Amino acid sequence: AVKYIERGDKIDENVQREIINHRSLRHPNIIAFKELLQWNMHLVENSLSGYVRLENGEDEARFFFQQLISGVSYCHEMQICHRDLKLENTLLDGSPIPRLKICDFGYSKSSVFHS
């Protein structure tokens, strides 16, 4: 997946924070940061199959919620707060048993880097 980002002073500050925070995270429930292409500001991340759609009741909701909590707990262990968790910032990989991935760390904050 590629995330295109417009350039600008305030946006560059948010993008810098996103890059620093996201790059430091390695967890099965967080989309992997691959590389940064700077000519037009593109972030390259893992390719995923789609958005989370809860259609099969409580068991499915519990399955994905446990994955979400695992990813969030890891972020907090790394002293990073996502600050924009919502359904649109979660994706599914293409595996037979889908794995939830947290994405979009543009509003994240780190107590380590004081971002």
pLDDT at residue 20, rounded to an integer: 87
pTM of the model: 0.76
Q: Which of 12, 59, 84, 104 is catalytic?
A: 84
Give catalytic status of residue 104 as yes or no: no
Each residue's pLDDT expressed in tens, for the chain with a length of 115 residues: 666 666 666 667 778 888 889 999 999 999 988 766 665 544 445 555 555 566 677 888 899 999 999 999 999 999 999 999 998 899 888 889 989 999 999 899 998 755 4
pLDDT at residue 66, rounded to an integer: 98
The CATH class given to the 2-110 domain equals: mainly alpha
The single residue listed with the structure tokens 């399955």 is 63
Strand runs (DSSP E) across 26-103, as ranges?
Answer: 33-37, 42-45, 50-51, 80-81, 90-92, 100-102
Domain ranges (residues) in the chain: 2-110
